[in-house]
Structure 1
Amino acid sequence: MSLLRSARFPAAVLLAAAAVGLVVANSPLGASVDAVMHAEVGVPGVFALSVEHWIADGLLALFFFVVAVELQYELTSGQLNSARHALRPAIAAAGGVLVPIAVFAAIAGGSDAARGWPIPTATDIAFALGVLAVFGRGLPSRIRVFLLALAILDDIVGIVFIAVLFTADVQLPLLLAALACVAVFAVLSRQLGGRGHRALIVALVVLGVATWVLVYLSGVHSTIAGVALGLAMAQQPALVARHVLEPWVNAIVLPLFAFAAALVAVPTVSASELSPGLWGVLIALPAGKVVGITFAGWIAQRVAGGDGPRLPLADLVTAGSLGGIGFTVSLLLSELAFADHPEIRDQTTLGVLGGSAISLVLAVILVSWRAWHYRKTPQADPRTGAASPS
């Protein structure tokens, strides 16, 4: 299980699953697998979804629950527990959201793909931390802390986009019923104590499923149920739940979603016939993130104060390259933005995969270079002020 929880594992498996999905979609098996993905599973006439929707709407809610638990911890006890701690990464994250939006709008604005502007705003924590774990031996911990805070704030923005932009015809009574379930879930989770009780755990699972169903039926994207439950749960039981779920999320949920999302046939058209949405995402993810995070981070360190030493410009550029690996949340945003336009969705999905791949290669190069730099450069011991090998 330790391998399934390591930072290296999710990134490697996600990349492999996406690659397999892309290969399968463009092979003779593509049509058969696509038919399976669109087959309905459930009780007909009562509650049935396609396999594709069970993965994106159902299983992915577990991923968002795990993310929300991490958000809750960081906002209350971790790196973002005060405005002073959060200020620098918050400003950098703002740049990493606004500049990619501007780049996408400049390329795809005015076209049918214009509503895909949220797609290049996300950062994939699993991929970013995986690159750091594999190639970042010797990097100071402040870089990882900065990146983690940046990615978490990006996740908050992504969650807000999902909740606000892709919700239509909300059924208020059902949504209120879901909120009531979340409230009861929060109260019961605080009765678990240190040891836990089986009856309460069963009740929490039932409430969690009920919340998901009610949110789905209300018209709000069902992954928001995972976010609400993760934020509402008492912190200690939530951390235990995260620990239990994390290997399953890393080994099953995320790879299945990456495989399903990457089932896209590469269009056999000339470059000029490709959707502006593809080019917008392909450029906005690597270029927009690097420019936005680097520039905003540089400004933040000079005008916002905050804790700790300043990051050198090269480290900010490195963080920006890691931020350009959008992947999971970007793929979901692509699915949501163009749910009614599969031809555009498929092309923006290719843009996500291509833009994330470019960012991944750039990040590997920069992280390796900065790690080598810090391993070769004597670092000051913060306790004594004396230089010591990194």
Structure 2
Amino acid sequence: MGLLLANTPAHDGIAGLLDAHIAVPGTMLDLSVAHWVSDGLLAIFFFVVALELQYELTRGDLNSVRKALQPAIAAAGGILIPVVVYLMIAGGAETSSGWPIPTATDIAFALGVLAVFGRGLPSAVRVFLLALAILDDIVGIIFIAVLFAKDLDFVMFLLGVVAVAVFAVLSRMLRGGARIPVAIAMVLVGLVAWGLVASSGVHATIAGVMLGLVMAPKPADQTRHVLEPWVNGIVLPIFAFVAAFVVIPQVSPTELSPAFWAIVVALPVGKILGIALFGWVAMRIRPKGAAPALPFVDILAAGALGGIGFTVSLLLANLAFAEDAVIRDQAILGVLLGSLISLVLAAVIVSARARGYRRAMAIA
């Protein structure tokens, strides 16, 4: 919808609204509406991602080296190969900074495609995809925290860490009659932590990650289940609208930035090659007691799903080319097209594999 409206007469009015600034009195926070969405609303998305990370790393499918090794190797391939593909096409001085963009996997979209088209697939495929997508997210979070921090204010950041520690302590006090006042205090402390991190030069979404990782396990699980529908139904669509609000350039394909073509190729091709090849190697070196090896075609399906970048790739595109609006907009278009190609490719492969499994079960 954002892409559609950006290319209609409504463009100027909506662009003016998104560029309007809203300041928080008494603080350093003075952001445009678009940045309140990408730095504020998206922090809630990363908070929920971190809650899931915490669960998987402590009690789920990544809580031991034995469980994590195979998806970790596949995830490494799904990061390294897209980077290589990107730099081969857009390694010039103007566009090389976009290399992190095609490394991301959108868990929500990938699992959604798997749920719609994968009826009959063994649960091991979903577990493998979820594990590698989560590892993908960890790397994406590191990229955002390390590569895109600017004018770092260590005092502000350390104060943010203190606020996160207070949030962790409060989350362990959520019991009995004190639940409501403690929960209110947690929300206020969480907002303070976000504001301090945002003011420190570290991207504000990292505050959401830190808060999610330190929350006590039981309330973390309850919070994730409460917030996930809101994040998927409201936060992500709003962010997608704002991020995709770009004008399609009226130029020939040969005049488009190398960044556009690099992302369009690296997401579907780089991801599927990297995950499939590294995943195949991982299945050959399984540690003792690891889950049975997945067939190569199932790993191929996971690779196609891994190319659906959307949310994190869109954020990385905005960050990588923040100083060049023309390349940034073309990179965003590359993310949308590359993710769409991956989505269609994944739907075809996953559907074919699911039909095969259903036939085999019917014969058995």
Separation in structure 2 between the aligned mates of residue 375 and residue 195 of structure 1, nearest angstrom: 51
- The answer as to 2:180 corresponding to 1:193 is no
Q: 1:358 aligns with which of 319, 341, 344?
A: 341
Which runs of 5 or more structure 1 residues have no equivalent in the other structure?
Answer: 1-19, 380-387
Contact residue 115 and residue 337 of structure 1 kept, 8 A:
yes
SS in 1 for 2:23: strand
Which runs of 5 or more structure 2 residues have no equivalent in the other structure?
Answer: none
Residue 7 of structure 1: aligned partner: none
- The answer as to 2:297 corresponding to 1:298 is no
Q: 2:14 aligns with which of 33, 38, 42?
A: 33
- 1:292-347 per-position Cα deviation (integer Å, ceiling 9, x unaligned): 00000000111243612111111111000000000000000001101111111000
**Residues 124-203 of structure 1 correspond to what in structure 2 (within 5 A)?**
124-193=106-175, 197-203=179-185
Q: Percent identity?
A: 60
Q: What letter matches 1:161 in structure 2?
A: F
Q: Which segment drifts farther, 241-250 or 113-122?
A: 241-250
Contact residue 111 and residue 276 of structure 1 kept, 8 A:
no
TM-score (ref. length: structure 2): 0.97
Separation in structure 2 between the aligned mates of residue 350 and residue 196 of structure 1, nearest angstrom: 49
Contact residue 104 and residue 117 of structure 1 kept, 8 A:
yes
Q: 1:315 aligns with which of 269, 275, 298?
A: 298
Q: 2:258 aligns with which of 259, 263, 276?
A: 276
Residue 114 of structure 1: aligned partner: 96
* Shift in Å, 1:187: 1.1
Separation in structure 2 between the aligned mates of residue 195 and residue 362 of structure 1, nearest angstrom: 52
Separation in structure 2 between the aligned mates of residue 254 and residue 227 of structure 1, nearest angstrom: 16
Q: What letter matches 1:31 in structure 2?
A: D
- 1:103-147 per-position Cα deviation (integer Å, ceiling 9, x unaligned): 000000024111000000000000000011111110000000000
Separation in structure 1 between the aligned mates of residue 201 and residue 165 of structure 2, nearest angstrom: 20
SS in 2 for 1:27: coil
Separation in structure 1 between the aligned mates of residue 98 and residue 24 of structure 2, nearest angstrom: 33
Residue 371 of structure 1: aligned partner: 354
Contact residue 89 and residue 297 of structure 1 kept, 8 A:
yes
Separation in structure 2 between the aligned mates of residue 141 and residue 218 of structure 1, nearest angstrom: 42
TM-score (ref. length: structure 1): 0.91
Separation in structure 1 between the aligned mates of residue 90 and residue 316 of structure 2, nearest angstrom: 16
Q: Which segment drifts farther, 235-244 or 358-367?
A: 235-244
Q: Which segment drifts farther, 190-199 or 63-72?
A: 190-199
Aligned length: 362
